[in-house]
Amino acid sequence: MEEQTTVQGDPPSREHFIFHKTITALRAVEGMIMRFILMMVLLLPTACCRPVPSQGRSVLPLIDTVNQRVRRQKSFVYLDPSAFNKRPFGVIEQSAVPVARDALKTSIYAPFQANFQGTVEALLAAVASRTGYRWRFEGSRPAAPILVSVNRDRASAYAILEEGLLQAQGLVTLRIDRAGRWMTLHYNRRRRHLLTHLDDPRF
């Protein structure tokens, strides 16, 4: 018969049991932390790539406003070869009705000499009289007169008027009807001023 040998050791102590449980718990916590870090690494690029919801209003009304402004500025005609025509916004608007070219002596593109200091209305009246046009104004006139100074040698009536109107700093614009031979000065005022103009007969 073969002899069987049995080796018996001492049972594990309480400290060994507690140490074993602590190591097992730490390994479980370490696994949870690693899974959490891996999840954050995978979700972080996705969160960064998500589009931010817009909190503002639609830009379509602004685009429509700009388009209307562009269409309005296209109606301003620049034919006179002067430095003032390089400006992006015009002060003189001409009717788009095709008409025969004016006579040379009464054309708004005929050369003139201007040495003028006074109101923009007086400048318009002088140029209109020289070119055979009638003139009028519309809108609410400002309380203070709009003073301009134009000194040009051999410049067209168009360029002379444009220089004076540009000095008005956007207070007035001019519409020229070459078919009816009318010059209409428009005051760019949104509402009537509380003070009456000095030249108003009701003052």
Q: List pLDDT tens digits, range 132-143.
A: 899 998 988 888
Q: Is residue 97 pLDDT above 80, yes or no? A: no
21 C-beta neighbours (distance < 10 Å), count: 10
The per-residue b/e assignment along 114-126, b for 16 or more CB within 10 angstroms, e otherwise, is bebebbbbebbbb
CA geometry: angle at 164 spanning 163 and 166, to 5°?
65
C-alpha span between 93 and 178 (Å, rounded): 11
Interatomic CA distance for residues 92 and 70, integer angstroms: 15
- pLDDT tens-digit map of 27-85: 777 778 888 887 777 776 665 555 555 666 788 888 888 887 776 665 554 444 444 44
How many Å apart are CA 82 and CA 156, to the nearest integer?
9
- Burial of residue 137 (number of CB atoms within 10 Å: 0-12, 13-18, 19+): middle
Cα(140)–Cα(188) distance, integer angstroms:
8
Average pLDDT over residues 159-186: 89
Report all structural domains of the chain as residue ranges with CATH numbers, in order of start. 78-187 (3.55.50.60)
Which of 151, 101, 161 lies closest to 130, judged by CA?
161
Which of 93, 151, 159 is closest to 118 using CA atoms? 151
This prediction has a pTM of 0.50
Q: Which pLDDT score is estimated for 88? A: 41
24 pLDDT more than 50: yes
Beta-bridge mates of residue 126: none
Averaged pLDDT score across all residues of the chain: 74
148-185 burial code (b ≥16 CB/10 A, e <16): bebebeebbbbbbbbbbbbbbeebbbbbbbbeebebbb
Average pLDDT over residues 114-124: 92
